[in-house]
Amino acid sequence: MKDVKDLSPLEAAAELADLAKKIAAADNAYYQNDAPDLTDAEYDALKHRNTAIEAMFPDLVRADSPSKRVGAAVQSKFNKIEHRFPMLSLGDVFSIAEVEDFVLGVKRFLNMAEDIDFMAEPKIDGLSFAARYEKGTFVSGATRGDGIVGEDITENLKTLKQLPLLLPAGVPEVLEVRGEVYMAKRDFLALNERNAAEKKKLFANPRNAAAGSLRQLNPKITAERKLSLWAYTWGEVSERQWNTQEEFFAKLKEWGFPVNPLNKVCHSLKEIEDNFKHITEIRAELPYDIDGVVYKVNSLDLQNRLGFLTRTPRWAIAHKFPAEQALTRINDIRIQVGRTGALTPVADLEPVNVGGVLVSHATLHNEDEIKRKDIRVGDMVVVQRAGDVIPQVVEVKFDKRPADSVPFEFPVICPECGAHAIREEDEAIRRCTGGLTCPAQAKERIKHFVSKEAFDIVGLGDKVVEAFYDDGIIKHPADIFTLEKRNGGAGDDLFSFGDEGLHLERRAGWGKLSVDNLFKAINARRTISLPRFIYALGISQVGSATALLLAQNYGTFDALQAEMSARETAKLVAIDGIGGEMGNDIVEFFNEQHNISEINKLREYVNVEEFVDERRTDSELSGKTVVFTGTLEKMTRLEAKALAQKCGAKVAGSVSAHTDYVIVGADAGSKAKKAAELGIKILTEAEFMEMAKK
Ligand code: IVH
């Protein structure tokens, strides 16, 4: 090979083109199959050569140069597509009684006594997609991803014969059709047979096979797999030409989309129940897997009035089939120690197939649950799983209990660190008192910190976190952000690796490429949104919804921390959705020295963004605290509350000096009186609606 300085510009350009191609091909092989076709050294040599030539001939740097591609790869193998409207999920229920509650809740919200029409649709067990059409032409396709950002599967979707690429005249200029891609049972079996014959990987179920086939970097593979689809909803639409879900289905059919013939409008709860029975009966004979029935309020006017909860619409619900059960033996009962020190008993089971999934563990919840059900090692038990929930032990078969069985004794010391495990009065859970000196707690906290809804650092999976913790590489979340610095050369006070560096690339299972990708993934998170940061801290009881509430109410991390460390809780406890106990946990968290030093250390490396509230701020109501009283006429109380919140107002239950407006309906009582006494502005329902419109 010629020395770089001896290359002519023409030769350099040709070689850069060649390198771009080779490196792209290597990336592809690596990311697509998790099986690189070059060694790390060969790959590095190509990248080096590319860099050297580019340094010598900066004018020749290509638009598709490998040096320009930073970070994309490890986070996702696909380009990302941000959904113009989030792809939401649905609330789950498992019984007709709960469906009834849902229907009644809808009616109550709308203040309607008469029956409402629901569209009942089989819930397809596949993977949802969004297909975007502009001027009737298919332009892009995406997976659901996390609901906000999905993966670009445009080319893959094009290979699905059932997806129309051109729509007839008259369709909305912008139209995003959403639905489910699935693999028919027969096609799934055939694919697995073929894979078995070729000694290739087998898929566990049709859903996995569909996902594995659609999410292929090489669309040719997608094309070889038999995938089908049903369309059932929409995303962005420039002009909506339908007023009910039923009319939408008619349009979809007209435009050439497959629409499930089992979709059916139900006019009453009785019809909903009959339909569910019917679908349950024919389920096994259907050529594809379904896992329940979805109910959607048919009228879009009513849907709009109902609106959304945080992640799910208020106008739809999924009625899942009952859990599937199987009989097996408990081989052992282990105690897991969680992030907050909770000791959770887990049953190790003789592996058993429950509805197509191999189950080898079940949660036993807590000490009392084991006592109540008298669950023992060696017992034969009925286990069940439903949806994505962790399998559970439903009952013990006492007649099959071995003669020498003994009751299970719950440990009172932490099996991980030996500290006392104590159980507060009124608490169901026993906790290890070891805090962060308990390796199990420390590890779980790091796992939580890097998890999807927190820092979402791809490449730091559970196994990696455990190994890095055990080897002293990451003991605290903040250590993640010094990894790169510690890897190469100079050590750091915390870890005396001297000039040696960690050299993660020398660890088994790692190489230069994967280490670089890990660093890229970490570096991409040095700026983080406020809700993610709060959630990542792992404050007891603070899930992602609460983290969002805190972000919305405090705006910046500094503001939150200042009030919490000063134990100023007036604002905190006034937040709808944060109860006294949770508030307590939050304040205590910010008053523990080790948490503060961890936060301080983290913030040396991480920039926490200010929270930009997407709720309206331009409304006269935004930032105001309002109280409703009396009977409203144009809308129900729930609707009024949702409308006020949408305008950025906080809805309180009682009138106080903090109240800005009291909205009075008919027969308003003491609250209106109190408002008058306190000199708080009183609005009629009409005035409130007028204000909300602006
Ligand atoms: S509607 C806002 N309809 O179930 C409503 N979803 O738990 C959005 N699914 O992510 C979904 N069949 O993947 C809808 N007929 C159907 C469905 C369906 C299957 C899946 C879909 C969604 C999940 C929600």
**pLDDT, tens digit, 9 for 90 and up, residues 256-298:** 999 999 999 999 999 999 999 999 999 988 999 999 999 999 9
* 665 neighbors 628 (Cβ within 8 angstroms): yes
Q: Domain holding 33: CATH number?
A: 1.10.287.610
Note whether residue 445 is domain-resident: no
Ligand 1, residues 230, 232, 289, 312: which to mutate, most atoms within 8 A of Cβ?
A: 232
Note whether residue 294 is domain-resident: yes
| pLDDT tens-digit series, residues 351-367 | 888 866 788 999 998 99
Q: pLDDT value at position 492?
A: 45
Whether residues 570 and 658 share a domain: the answer is no
Note whether residue 87 is domain-resident: no
Q: How many domains does the chain have?
A: 6
Whether residues 158 and 300 share a domain: the answer is yes
User: 250 C-alpha vs ligand 1 centroid, how far in Å?
Assistant: 19
Note whether residue 81 is domain-resident: no
The region that residue 54 occupies, defined by phi over 0 for left and psi between -120 and 50 for alpha, beta otherwise, is: alpha
Mean pLDDT of 19-46: 71
Note whether residue 613 is domain-resident: no
User: 89 C-alpha vs ligand 1 centroid, how far in Å?
Assistant: 6
Whether residues 102 and 183 share a domain: the answer is yes
Whether residues 292 and 314 share a domain: the answer is yes
* pTM for this predicted structure: 0.56
Q: Is 89 in the pocket of ligand 1 (CB under 6 A)?
A: yes
Which residue minimizes the CA distance to atom 6 of ligand 1?
123
Note whether residue 446 is domain-resident: no
Q: Which of 432, 465, 488 is the last residue of a domain?
A: 432
Read off the amino acid at residue 59: D
Q: Which atom of ligand 1 is nearest to the CA of 88?
A: 2
Whether residues 677 and 629 share a domain: the answer is yes
User: 635 C-alpha vs ligand 1 centroid, how far in Å?
Assistant: 29
CA distances from 621 to 241, 626, 641 (A): 33, 8, 12
Whether residues 333 and 315 share a domain: the answer is no
Q: Domain residues for 582?
A: 528-608
Residue 74 has pLDDT above 50, yes or no: no
121 vs 100: CA distance, rounded Å:
17
Q: Is 91 in the pocket of ligand 1 (CB under 6 A)?
A: no
Q: Which residues are catalytic?
A: 123
Q: Is 180 in the pocket of ligand 1 (CB under 6 A)?
A: yes
Q: Which of 482, 500, 524 is the last residue of a domain?
A: 524
User: 90 C-alpha vs ligand 1 centroid, how far in Å?
Assistant: 7
Residues 6+ apart with CB under 8 A from 406: 376
395 vs 19: CA distance, rounded Å:
62
Q: Which of 416, 432, 448 is the last residue of a domain?
A: 432
User: 309 C-alpha vs ligand 1 centroid, how far in Å?
Assistant: 16
Phi, psi angle pair for 442, to nearest 5°: -60, -45
Tell the burial category of 228 from Cβ atoms under 10 Å away from its Cβ (0-12, 13-18, 19+).
Answer: buried
Tell the burial category of 363 from Cβ atoms under 10 Å away from its Cβ (0-12, 13-18, 19+).
Answer: middle
Q: Domain holding 213: CATH number?
A: 3.30.470.30
Which residue minimizes the CA distance to atom 17 of ligand 1?
123
- For residue 577, give the nearest of 530, 612, 545, 533 by alpha carbon: 545
- Least confident interval from 248-262, 446-460, 626-640: 626-640
Whether residues 632 and 682 share a domain: the answer is yes
Whether residues 48 and 19 share a domain: the answer is yes
Residue 388 has pLDDT above 60, yes or no: no
Q: Is 589 in the pocket of ligand 1 (CB under 6 A)?
A: no
Which residue minimizes the CA distance to atom 12 of ligand 1?
123
Note whether residue 82 is domain-resident: no
User: Mean pLDDT in the chain?
Assistant: 89
Whether residues 144 and 267 share a domain: the answer is yes
Note whether residue 86 is domain-resident: no
Whether residues 389 and 475 share a domain: the answer is no
Q: Is 263 in the pocket of ligand 1 (CB under 6 A)?
A: no
Whether residues 176 and 238 share a domain: the answer is yes
**Residue 70: pLDDT band with limits 50, 70, 90:** very low
Whether residues 599 and 484 share a domain: the answer is no
